[in-house]
Amino acid sequence: MSDAPRPGEIALHKDPAEQPPDCGLVFIGRIETPWEDRHACPRRGAGSDTICTVQVDEQFAEGLKSLESCSHLILLYWMHEARRDLIVQAPAFDSVTHGCFALRSPVRPNPIALSVVELVAIEGRTLSVRGLDCINGTPLIDIKPYFAANDCVPEASVGWHKDRTHPERRSKDL
Ligand SMILES: C[S@@+](CC[C@H](N)C(=O)[O-])C[C@H]1O[C@@H](n2cnc3c(N)ncnc32)[C@H](O)[C@@H]1O
């Protein structure tokens, strides 16, 4: 697949290999999934029934205390194989371009992803969860409890997505 920008796209750098240095994040574990490349992943975790495994590193084990009482979690992870230079993007399902901050694309200056997952089981530092969409080996940044009362906004809307010109097309980069 070509890295060349599509018509209307704007890249921050001429050379996609030219990436800014990472900040001082500490990865707290890895996510194990059946998907070895981004094309094999579900477009987004919501709706995926596949049970994936989150392995938390030993030094953070105590941070898992009480997590077993949570039914759903927010996972933040680092899309380590994403390019980071496309600031305006042309999703396959729209004839209009959009800024990366209006998209859930992994392609963004800081490739941080989030998913709300169901916690199926927890054994030691191993979490079994349902609802992920990432490549096997994706680094884990953080785990938070999902509070339905605070985190759910039923009336929220994304206008450009409702008005997209090619809803029948699927893209890996929404
Ligand atoms: C559209 S993004 C959504 C990510 C997250 N659920 C979010 O909303 O922030 C999911 C897609 O990112 C791609 N992807 C998954 N893991 C990746 C990784 N480690 N590096 C780069 N791209 C990845 C796959 O194409 C996957 O379908």
Q: Which string of DSSP letters, residue by residue, matches 24-78?
A: S----EEEE-S-SSTTTS-SSSTT---EEEEEE-GGGGGGGTTGGG-SEEEEEEE
Write the pLDDT tens digit of every residue in 92-140. 888 899 999 999 999 999 999 999 999 999 999 999 999 999 999 999 9
Domains of the chain (ranges; CATH) run 24-148+158-162 (2.40.30.70)
Listed in sequence order, the DSSP H helices in the chain are 148-151, 159-162
Per-residue model confidence (pLDDT) at position 126: 98
Per-residue model confidence (pLDDT) at position 44: 83
pLDDT tier at 27, thresholds 50, 70, 90: very high
CA distances from 71 to 74, 114, 119 (A): 11, 17, 5
For residue 6, the CA-to-ligand 1 centroid distance in Å is 19
Structure tokens at 55: 């392995």
Summarize the confidence of residues 71-96 as an average pLDDT. Answer: 94
pLDDT at 170 over 80: no
CA torsion through residues 140, 143, 148, 153, sign? negative
Ligand 1 atom 19 nearest Cα? 79
8-17, 21-30, 37-46, 134-143: which is most confident: 134-143
pLDDT at 168 over 80: no
Per-residue model confidence (pLDDT) at position 171: 53
Three-state DSSP state, 102: helix
pLDDT tier at 1, thresholds 50, 70, 90: low
Per-residue model confidence (pLDDT) at position 165: 81
For residue 49, the CA-to-ligand 1 centroid distance in Å is 16
Q: How far apart are CA 108 and CA 16, in angstroms?
A: 12
Per-residue model confidence (pLDDT) at position 174: 43
For residue 101, the CA-to-ligand 1 centroid distance in Å is 15
Q: Which residues line ligand 1 (CB under 6 A)?
A: 38, 41-45, 79-82, 104-106, 113-115, 133-135, 138, 172, 174
Per-residue model confidence (pLDDT) at position 163: 80
State the greatest distance between any 2 C-alpha atoms of the chain, in Å, as a whole number: 49
